[in-house]
Amino acid sequence: MSTDTPVTYGSYLELDQLLALQHPRGSQQGAPEHPDELLFIVVHQASELWFKVLLAELEALRGCLAAREAESALWRVQRLNALTRIVSAQLSALDTLPPQRFLQFRGYLGSSSGSQSVQFRAIEAASGLRDPHFVQVLREHGEIPALVQAELGKPALQDLFLALLEHAGVAPDELYTGPGPSTLFLLAEGLLEYEQQFARWRFAHVQLVERIIGPGTMGTGGTLGAKYLARTVTQRFFPVLWEVRSRLYGAATGRA
């Protein structure tokens, strides 16, 4: 960087460019700018910025797991959980959007849908979704984006964690037995917390969509709207860790 130009808050964050990226469609089509369309745009743009950070943290977490650095991985997953809570919480801003006001500018959205977010799909893939149904949903929008395809080609978090356990000579069931919590136990719990935070994020999205357009209304991109979103809440990133709980309960109660 040139030393002739001082770095300011605005120049460092490129605020002139950032704050010029909100273009309500209503005003572009000759109608008065709807007062709530700006809120709608900013919430989604902010989400995409956080998605970028989440993807970077997921990559860093993968690196820690692959390097068998349990303590660093624990710190990374704690940050990941904090970021996921932030992304979920910011959706509440749209709880203030009444249905009738959303309908006033919904037509400007065209065929756009949150399901088309490449970064969100990449986060799902990086977290562990690899099943045929997930891949089929991706292909419904055409060719799988390069970013998502790249994440699908990398090891899933669960596979890396299980490899870490194997390297340490610890079976998944042994995380929940013994004298007390270990780093690996805390890491496993952190990963499950991430999955739960992600599910809460999905559930918050379901409730938001139902509140604004109703539970039976089609989404803007031709999706099933809230019905489709509700189906995704039960998706698992770490099924092995959940199975451990079932086995432990079955062994304790005699219900194998």
Q: What is the pLDDT of residues 143-167, one digit of tens each?
A: 999 999 999 999 999 999 999 999 9
Lowest mean pLDDT among 172-186, 221-235, 241-255: 221-235
Mean pLDDT (the chain) is 87
Q: Hey, where are the domains in the chain?
A: 34-106+114-253
DSSP 224: -
Whole-structure pTM value:
0.86
Give the per-residue pLDDT at 210.
Answer: 82
Distance CA(20)–CA(48), nearest Å, equals 16
Give the per-residue pLDDT at 224.
Answer: 45
Structure tokens at 176: 């929940």
| Percent of the chain whose pLDDT exceeds 70 | 86
Which whole number is the average pLDDT over 175-194?
Answer: 90
Give the per-residue pLDDT at 28.
Answer: 65
φ/ψ (deg, to 5) at 111: -95, 10
If pLDDT is split at 50, 70 and 90, which confidence band does 241 have?
A: very high
CATH of domain 34-106+114-253: 1.20.58.480
Distances (CA, A) of 242 to 118, 175, 181, 190, 249: 28, 12, 17, 13, 11
- 80 contacts: CB under 8 Å, gap ≥ 6: 54, 57, 58, 61, 194
pLDDT reading at 243 higher than 70: yes
Give the per-residue pLDDT at 132.
Answer: 86
Q: Using one digit for the tens of pLDDT, what is the confidence trace for 2-18?
A: 567 899 999 999 999 99
